[in-house]
Structure 1
Amino acid sequence: MNSSTVASTATFVAYFVVMVAIGLWVYKRTVSLSDFVLGGRRLNSWVAGLSANASDFSGWLLLGLPGAVYLSGLGETWIPVGLALGLIGSWILMAGRLRVYTERATDARSGGDSDSLTLSSYLENRFGDRSGLLRAVSAILILVFYVFYVASGLVAIGDLFAQVFGMPAEVAILAGVLIVVLYTFLGGFLAVSYTDVLQAVMMWIALLIVPVVGILVITADPVTGVEGDFDSVLSGVEGTLGDALAPMVIISGLAWAFGYFGQPHILARFMGIRSAGEVRQAGIISVGWQITAMIMAVAVAFTGVVYFSEPVENSEQIFPNLIQALMNPWVAGFLLAAILAAVMSTADSQLLVASSALTEDGYRAFVKRDASPMSLVWISRGAVIGVALVAAGIALSGNSSVMELVGYAWAGFGAGFGPVILTSLYWRNMNRVGALAGMLGGGVVAIVWDIVDTSGLALGPLTVGPLETGLYSMVPAVVVSFAGIFLFNMLGRTTQQMADDFNRVDEEFQREKHEAGV
């Protein structure tokens, strides 16, 4: 075993110990489902802001995005531009109102404040849906898309371990599942949020150090890297600058913005913050971290184009390759651990939300509504294990890249939930029929669009495509979702209780903003 492997092993072990220690630290503080799912709604602005970012970006930021820009150049940078706009919009338009509404909407089944712990329960209570249909459909969509999302993180873990230790990807994926499940199982939302803060700091430092060192090395040794002008660097190893200005590339990249309005693991941070008055500071922290981190991730890709004279075999490994090529073994070990942190910081949040859907929106809603607090905690812990095993099965199939899996899940959540939740916060007269139509329309189109666009679709006598537009599925799915909301809303009705809740929430939200000086 060489010094680099020893250093990486030691750093990884230390990192794992810290993660599990945090899980053990909050284990005894988790005594109810509210604690396990939302941390008792007591996150301060720093924890809420940074954990939102860490749970958001995962291996996509350190593996998927640099790999895509390394291959295709500036054409892929429309995605981070869209994401920056989306995050800013979600903090401004959604965070404060969602925090108040999820707690204050009248419980559809028992009356009184609902204290909704999941998006599915929020939708049920917001629209007074006693049938449970909204809750069931939304929970199913959450589970379907989250197994793919968690699988993307496990694929990234497998790639990383194979790169650093030379171990089989299958073994690495199983090891990653074990670690993430362990501290999520122990501490729930608080463990996930506190570890996310540490992980966010590690990710940011890694993204800062690598391109700076790379640029210094390249400047000191002009012979290093590719031949050609500045354009050849910006176009990546396979793209052209003209690709970056193609209308479908721009529209598809910017469309990623809408994903933020429907990601349950990010919206959970809005729901778990201490008060709507702390949203502004948390948003500034979150957006500042995000924009600087994405700029540095793009810089990593361009550094890789220049530094390596021959294209790397796996573009999504450009960041680990640069780390190993540029850094002292012990520094490399820390930075590689930061990549692992990025992957785990999203996988844990997603496991938690998926398990919440099974427990709060499945078992408690339809099986045993009066279940004891600790029994619900233990059922959630079991659900964490179950979802992790399904996601591991998808990851072990080895059929998709990190970027593909993330893009699929991002569109599913963004279109399936984004329009519905955003509209529910601002339209007093929205009802459950419109909500159900928007959710189903957006979710289904997000699932089938890529199939129709690339291969066509045959349903009995109906045959469609292939369309071959190259358009990201988020665009048509969001359009269909909004259309469904406004068209089908005419078939439902708004009760007086729903209107009263809307007015009460709006008044409380405005009061908390005023008290916070916003």
Structure 2
Amino acid sequence: MFMKLLILIIYFAVMIGIGLYCRKHATDVNGFVLGGRSVGPWLTAFAYGTSYFSAVVFVGYAGQFGWKYGISATWAGIGNAIIGSLLAWVVLGRRTRIMSQHLNSATMPQFFGERFGSSALKIGASVIIFIFLIPYTASLYNGLSRLFGMAFNIDYSVCIILMAVLTAIYVIAGGYMATAINDFIQGIIMLFGIATVIAAVLNSKGGFMAALDGLAKVSDPAVTDTPGIFASFFGPDPLNLLFVVILTSLGTWGLPQMVQKFYAIKDEKSIKKGTIISTIFALVVAGGSYFLGGFGRLFSDEIDVAANGYDSIIPTMLSGLSPMLIALVVILVLSASMSTLSSLVIASSSTLTIDFLKDNFIKDMSDKKQVLSIRILVVVFIAISSILALIQYKSSITFIAQLMGVSWGALAGSFLAPFMYSLYSKRVTKASCWVCFIFSSVLMIANIFFRSSFPTIMQSPINCGAIAMLAGLVIVPVVSLFTPKPDKELVESAFKCYDKKTTVEQKTALGD
């Protein structure tokens, strides 16, 4: 117990120290929200990866989908690496960095406002972010409760308050740069922790081949009578697994806290390196998490999913590890959650200040006042999410936890298509953005209250969210065909940033 506490104290001290060290980078809005747009490839790639994967993935999704789909759940991690990281960087990275700087936008709503010359569109986007990021933020605490109880025998409320206070300190002090540096350290812990835990769990079952053989012998008549299905390539339910891959992979393309990482990256070379680093990180962390979860049914004699839920699967799998490994797992999950939490609160507070309060409610808001407002709202958002997490814990309400999937679907469904198309096409209209915003938000809210009325395949928030994203990719171009063309001068002004001449080395491009 002494060693566990010592490791935690050292970890917390480093986080706070980095926050205080980075104060010099957080004196204006550009520095606080984007780190002065000078963040290198390693920090950006790790910030992207650690914001992507939280305790929700490691404890919740890995356990749930590993139990449902067996070893084939690993496809979700592979999809996260290829679609959610590699393709996201290739398709969005450069163009986002160039156009966001050209339009002088620090947030996604600000980008929409400048790109389409519409303050109403900016406010609409900021309202969607405000509504749906809070339940997402609250859900980050869910994966920690059982692990902290198992490792430290302390009340979960203490864990929530501790995590909230420490995250608030280093975010308020150092802004985005402190978050990026801490994300790098947290990312290293996650990489090392995942690899170590997988090796230890498989070893406890006789090694990889013995564990895979054991999984092939597992049967569940409630799922399927096919022998060896949980050790097969595509598992018992390939269609629903595909929706999981789409939601958790394609979703990153439209999440404000993810896309914002591209705003801050330093240069072309950083984008190329960051693409590779981010992909490898996702393959190890996400692939490893889902791969580990795929062996959950080997512990079915110790797990009562009906009574304790899917969140009990991963903690039960880890409960037999050595005390030092359990301490490592707690730090791993704490790192994953704190990195995502810090990213979410910066996205929420900066959006509410820059896109909602500034000019609309507070006129002539100076740079200094904006930074102060963002810092105050960081405290507010962390406090609200902590209170929601405590309410859920004390009253055993599962409703808040379910909102994680709804939040992800609403945000990505609303923003993915309008944002991506507006980086590439001059034909995208303001009306198509509004239709996509309204369609996805209403669809996901309706899924909360009228889920039983939905078609069977859409009753799952995950499937519904994936459908919202895919629908947006059709809605934006179709509505753009039948609505008034955007102002030509405004569009040309936005796209001229891509025509700027730049000199590169011959290895990058041949001369005349």
After superposition, the Cα gap between the structure-2 partners of 1:238 and 1:339, relative to the gap in structure 1 and judged at 3 Å, is farther
Matched, 1:311 2:298: no
Between the aligned partners of 1:402 and 1:204, the Cα distance in structure 2 is 29
SS across alignment from 1:155: coil
Q: Which of the numbers 131, 148, 155 marks the counterpart of 1:161?
A: 148
1:6 CA drift (Å): 2.4
Between the aligned partners of 2:148 and 2:291, the Cα distance in structure 1 is 24
Query: What letter is aligned with 1:268?
Result: Q
After superposition, the Cα gap between the structure-2 partners of 1:71 and 1:217, relative to the gap in structure 1 and judged at 3 Å, is closer
User: Any runs of at least 4 consecutive aligned residues in structure 1 with deviations exceeding 6 A, and if so which?
Assistant: 235-238, 512-516
1:118 CA drift (Å): 0.3
After superposition, residues 283-294 of structure 1 pair within 5 angstroms as: 283-294=275-286
After superposition, residues 427-506 of structure 1 pair within 5 angstroms as: 427-449=425-447, 451-452=449-450, 454-456=451-453, 465=454, 467=456, 469-470=458-459, 472-489=463-480, 490-506=482-498
Report sequence identity in percent.
Answer: 20
Matched, 1:208 2:195: yes
Matched, 1:28 2:24: yes
After superposition, residues 376-391 of structure 1 pair within 5 angstroms as: 376-391=370-385
1:123 CA drift (Å): 0.5
Between the aligned partners of 2:223 and 2:401, the Cα distance in structure 1 is 17
1:408 CA drift (Å): 2.1
Between the aligned partners of 2:331 and 2:69, the Cα distance in structure 1 is 26
Query: What letter is aligned with 2:171?
Result: T
After superposition, the Cα gap between the structure-2 partners of 1:73 and 1:32, relative to the gap in structure 1 and judged at 3 Å, is same
SS across alignment from 2:235: helix
1:359 CA drift (Å): 0.9
Retained in 1: the 8 A contact 2:431–2:479?
yes
Normalising by structure 1, we get a TM-score of 0.86
Retained in 2: the 8 A contact 1:419–1:481?
yes
Deviation sequence 1:277-312 (CA, Å, 0-9, x none)? 421210110001101222321332245543674226
Deviation sequence 1:37-88 (CA, Å, 0-9, x none)? 1111111011111110001101133212331144223364443343232322
Identify the residue that residue 17 of structure 1 maps to in structure 2: 13
After superposition, the Cα gap between the structure-2 partners of 1:187 and 1:21, relative to the gap in structure 1 and judged at 3 Å, is same
Deviation sequence 1:288-341 (CA, Å, 0-9, x none)? 1101222321332245543674226554344444444222x3343233212110
Deviation sequence 1:344-382 (CA, Å, 0-9, x none)? 110110011000111111222313353222221111011
Identify the residue that residue 183 of structure 1 maps to in structure 2: 170
Identify the residue that residue 115 of structure 2 maps to in structure 1: 126
1:432 CA drift (Å): 1.5
SS across alignment from 1:189: helix
Identify the residue that residue 108 of structure 1 maps to in structure 2: none
Between the aligned partners of 1:339 and 1:174, the Cα distance in structure 2 is 16
Retained in 2: the 8 A contact 1:428–1:502?
no
Q: Any unmatched runs of 5+ in structure 1? A: 106-114, 457-464
After superposition, residues 113-152 of structure 1 pair within 5 angstroms as: 115-129=104-118, 132-152=119-139
Between the aligned partners of 1:265 and 1:6, the Cα distance in structure 2 is 36
Between the aligned partners of 1:64 and 1:332, the Cα distance in structure 2 is 17
After superposition, the Cα gap between the structure-2 partners of 1:333 and 1:378, relative to the gap in structure 1 and judged at 3 Å, is same
Between the aligned partners of 1:180 and 1:239, the Cα distance in structure 2 is 41
Q: What number of residue pairs does the alignment pair up?
A: 489
Q: Which of the numbers 399, 402, 408 marks the counterpart of 2:406?
A: 408
1:260 CA drift (Å): 1.5
Normalising by structure 2, we get a TM-score of 0.87
Q: Which moved more, 1:258-267 or 1:400-409?
A: 400-409
Query: What letter is aligned with 1:27?
Result: R
Q: Over aligned residues, Cα RMSD in angstroms? A: 2.9
1:439 CA drift (Å): 1.9
Between the aligned partners of 2:502 and 2:235, the Cα distance in structure 1 is 45
Identify the residue that residue 326 of structure 2 maps to in structure 1: 332
Retained in 2: the 8 A contact 1:26–1:191?
yes
Deviation sequence 1:114-146 (CA, Å, 0-9, x none)? x100000001111122xx111111001111111
After superposition, residues 229-268 of structure 1 pair within 5 angstroms as: 229-232=214-217, 240=224, 241=229, 244-246=235-237, 248-256=239-247, 257-268=249-260
After superposition, the Cα gap between the structure-2 partners of 1:447 and 1:196, relative to the gap in structure 1 and judged at 3 Å, is same
Retained in 2: the 8 A contact 1:442–1:477?
yes
Query: What letter is aligned with 1:478?
Result: M
Retained in 1: the 8 A contact 2:55–2:143?
yes
1:482 CA drift (Å): 3.6
Retained in 2: the 8 A contact 1:64–1:403?
no
1:483 CA drift (Å): 4.3
Deviation sequence 1:176-204 (CA, Å, 0-9, x none)? 22221121111111111110000111011
After superposition, the Cα gap between the structure-2 partners of 1:96 and 1:492, relative to the gap in structure 1 and judged at 3 Å, is same
